[in-house]
A and B are shown apart, each in its own frame.
Chain A
């Protein structure tokens, strides 16, 4: 019967896709659906353009002034940062370290969000034609957002760090304690796994990427610890982290090409 055939075909497809043999089909579907996504995206963009064009002059002037003030503060901070980076590079050179600082970034727009209520995924407006690759980290101005999972020629899908299927190697900035930040599926909540009950974690601690696993560059902020619950009956503490990136509010994200991968020792492959 036809239904039975299609059920079997579905199961076959799911199995193949699970093993990542169907990226070309997915890419084809992505290209076919690109016009539909644009049809939704363009009116929204037009809406924000109309809003920008017709917003009051007074509020624009005020915003301009505020932004200028902010820029001044940020520039001064950046100047200090540049100096620190230069110093860091100099010291590293002195130490003859193989870690290089500095990576390439590219701005991509978010074309669609929350396509499936049970996972946290976003669609970005850059694809293989911009050299985007699966597994590439994405960040925003405040911290890590997630990583690219599927790439089409013109668009790509990215998994946010709050997705229940996403785990991120992190460390506590204060003392370097390593852990894994796993998404909970709820917006604005990550959970740190495998921290013993007596671990030195406090609410307010900054959590940054550790760079272990080689996928994310180290030192990017991930979030702040909001609650630590210890229960003597459980082996591990329950640590809740609030992501610092504006996962649900961004329209633009940064794609990062990490450059600070340690150079592999000779006679050994870099691995992924």
Chain B
């Protein structure tokens, strides 16, 4: 039992590593504003599917890593991701039964919330907050959600992550 669980954990961590790689992959300037918030999307999936394993603390430490990658103040993304995980855990039973596209809309709202918190903390630091730029990543995240959901569900079944 223990062995199987640790194997699943490895796959779980690997999905996050891939999300981080997608996050820093250089993109042409045209597509750049439409880069989905990969880390947030992956986190939403795992908190929805296995809330007893991936919870607020997991989300917070992922956010801390994201801050390290993005060069933002340590804790900025951590705050947003912790809040996102909290909401998903509260609503996971309701979200699970929705059709995929409606879940996508939910992801759009969650990413919007995370980025708004991020912009808010930026505003406190006295940095400009371009509100319109938030819509691109949020919409792209909602659009890629069905595919990410299907891929990660296969990963979860294959490695029996429970």
User: In whole angstroms, what is the CA distance A248 to B55 when docked?
Assistant: 38
Which stretch, B4-12, B40-48, B68-76, B91-99, touches the partner chain A? B68-76
Q: Which residues of chain A are near B69, meaning CB under 8 Å?
A: 33, 36-37, 115
| A247 → B minimal CB distance (Å) | 11
Contact (A165, B78) CB under 8 Å given A3-B56, A14-B73, A113-B26: no
Contact of A2 among B21, B57, B121 (CB under 8 A): B57
Docked CA distance A13–B86 (Å): 20
In angstroms, how far is the closest chain B Cβ from the Cβ of A117? 6
Annotate B128-162 by CB proximity to A: 1 below 8 A, 0 otherwise: 11100100110000000000000000000000000
CB-defined contacts of A149 to chain B, threshold 8 Å: 71
Given A33-B68, A118-B133, A248-B29, check contact A14 B20 (CB 8 Å): no
Interface size on A, residues (CB 8 A): 43
User: What's the least CB distance linking B63 to chain A, in Å?
Assistant: 8
Check: B17 CB closer than 8 A to any chain A CB: yes
CB B13 to nearest CB in A, in angstroms, measures: 12
- At the interface, yes or no: A187 with Cβ under 8 Å from chain B? yes
- Interchain CB contact (< 8 A) of A11 among B21, B55, B75, B130: B75
Please, which residues of chain A bring their CB within 8 A of the CB of B68? 26, 29-30, 32-33
CB–CB A14/B121 < 8 A: yes
Which residues of the partner chain B approach A112 to less than 8 Å between Cβ atoms? 24, 26
Given A118-B130, A185-B128, A6-B74 contact (CB < 8 Å): no
With A33-B20, A36-B21, A40-B24 known as contacts, the answer to whether A3 contacts B82 (CB < 8 A) is yes
A95 within 8 A of B: no
**Size band of the interface chain B makes with A:** 35 or more
B74 touches A17 (CB 8 A): yes
Interface centre among B68, B69, B78 (most CB of A within 10 A): B68
Please, which residue of chain B has its CB at the minimum distance from the CB of A35? B17
Counting CB contacts under 8 A, is A121 at the interface? yes
CB pair B71 A119 closer than 8 Å: yes
Number of A-B contacts (CB under 8 A): 117
Chain A 109-152 interface residues, beta-carbon cutoff 8 Å to B? 112-119, 121, 123, 149-150
Question: Does the CB pair A10–B78 fall under 8 Å?
Answer: yes
Please measure, in the bound complex, the distance between the C-alpha atom of A187 and the C-alpha atom of B71, giving whole angstroms. Answer: 18
Inter-subunit contact A29/B65 (CB<8 Å): yes
With both chains docked as a complex, state the minimum distance between the C-beta of A193 and any C-beta of chain B, in angstroms: 14
A3 adjacent to B83 (CB under 8 Å): yes
Smallest CB–CB gap between B40 and chain A, Å?
Answer: 14
Inter-chain contact B133/A115, CB cutoff 8 Å: no
Residue of A nearest to B89 (CB): A3
Question: Across the interface, which residues of B come within 8 angstroms of A121, CB to CB?
Answer: 71
Q: Whole-angstrom distance from the CB of A122 to the nearest CB of chain B? A: 9
Q: How far is the CB of B9 from chain A (nearest CB, A)?
A: 17
B17 touches A36 (CB 8 A): yes
Q: Is A72 an interface residue (CB 8 A)?
A: no
- Contact at B60–A10, with CB atoms within 8 Å? yes
Q: Is B112 located at the chain interface by the 8 A CB criterion? A: no
Is the Cβ of A164 less than 8 Å from the Cβ of B128?
A: yes
Residues of B at the A interface (CB closer than 8 Å) are 17, 20-21, 23-27, 29, 32-33, 35, 55-57, 60, 63-65, 67-76, 78-79, 82-83, 86, 119, 121-122, 125, 127-130, 133, 136-137
In the complex, besides A13-B73, A40-B25, A117-B137, 7 extra interface pairs with C-beta distance below 8 angstroms are A6-B79, A7-B79, A37-B24, A40-B21, A112-B24, A117-B133, A118-B122
Could you list 7 examples of A-B contacts with CB < 8 Å? A6-B57, A9-B78, A29-B65, A36-B24, A44-B26, A115-B71, A118-B130
The 3 closest A-B pairs by CB, nearest first: A29-B68, A13-B75, A10-B79
